[in-house]
Every structure is written in C-alpha cells, then in structure tokens.
C-alpha cells in the first residue's frame, strides 16, 4: 500500500525558512517523480513543483510563485522528498501535500499524502 506522510509544518514568521519532509513507503521510491501541491485555507489547489527521478536527471520544475524561493530535493536511500521553503511570505500559508507522480519524468499525481499545515505569520 502506497503511503505518503508529510511532516515539518508549523508556524513560522515572514522571511524565515522551513523544510517539509515527505516519507514514502509501499513503492520503489527512486523510480518515480514526486511533487508538492498546496492549498491555502478555503482556496483551491495550487501546483508547487516536482522533482524527476534520478533516471531522468533528478531535475526540478517550479511554479512561478515559488521559483527562486522553494527547492525540492530527494533522498532515495531514505525514500524521502523535501520541500525547502525560504523567504516565506504570508501568502505561502497553506496545507502542503506531497504526491507521487505516475512516472519517472513527469505525469499526474496518483497518490497524495494527508498534508501538513504551514502558517506564515508574525
């Protein structure tokens, strides 16, 4: 059974940093791309970015709203994906979901974690 568990959320001040983790199980983590999607309170889903599998270079793509501030990485030996968030803004407040992508280079999210809440406030 595929499981994705996000951790690392919490309250952080504007301008500070936070790192989210996504611990995966139930599939061969290194074979798949992984993505992050967020949802501000009462709002819709927003695609944040994804990281390809090492077989496809482990490269990343980001939404314009986070490019240059957020970094996605992965540790295949631990089956963990990370979302490093720097220079946080109040508008980054959201539930952050980790998702498994159907494929190694790109594709759609076929499994989702339950999400972790990030609140950016002074």
Partner 1 sequence: SYELTQPPSVSVSPGQTARITCSGDALPKKYAYWYQQKSGQAPVLVIYEDSKRPSGIPERFSGSSSGTMATLTISGAQVEDEADYYCYSTDSSGNHRGVFGGGTKLTVL
Considering only CA atoms, which of 106, 35, 112, 46 is closest in space to residue 74? Answer: 35
How many whole angstroms separate alpha carbon 109 and alpha carbon 96? 14
117 binds partner 1 (CB under 8 A): no
68 binds partner 1 (CB under 8 A): no
Q: Between 86 and 112, whose beta carbon lies closer to partner 1?
A: 112
Q: By rule CB under 8 A, what count of residues binds partner 1?
A: 23
109 binds partner 1 (CB under 8 A): yes
- Taking the complex as a whole, the smallest distance from the CB of residue 107 to partner 1 amounts, in Å, to 8
Helices (H) and strands (E) in the chain, counts: 0, 11
Considering only CA atoms, which of 29, 112, 23 is closest in space to residue 76? Answer: 29
Q: What is the DSSP letter of 103?
A: S
- Taking the complex as a whole, the smallest distance from the CB of residue 77 to partner 1 amounts, in Å, to 26
108 binds partner 1 (CB under 8 A): yes
47 binds partner 1 (CB under 8 A): yes
The residue within the footprint of partner 1, chosen from 64, 68, 77, 122 (CB under 8 A), is 64
Q: Which residues contact residue 63 at a Cβ distance below 8 angstroms, ignoring those fewer than 6 apart?
A: 46, 47, 48, 49
């Amino acid at each position: 059974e595929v499981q994705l568990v996000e951790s690392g959320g919490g309250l952080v001040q504007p301008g500070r940093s936070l790192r989210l983790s996504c611990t995966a199980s139930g599939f061969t983590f290194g074979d798949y791309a992984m993505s992050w999607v967020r949802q501000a309170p009462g709002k819709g889903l927003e695609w944040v970015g994804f990281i390809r599998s090492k077989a496809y270079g482990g490269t990343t793509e980001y939404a314009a709203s986070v490019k240059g501030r957020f970094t996605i990485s992965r540790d295949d030996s631990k089956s963990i994906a990370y979302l490093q968030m720097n220079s946080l803004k109040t508008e980054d407040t959201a539930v952050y979901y980790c998702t498994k992508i159907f494929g190694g280079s790109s594709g759609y999210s076929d499994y989702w974690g339950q999400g972790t809440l990030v609140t950016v406030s002074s």
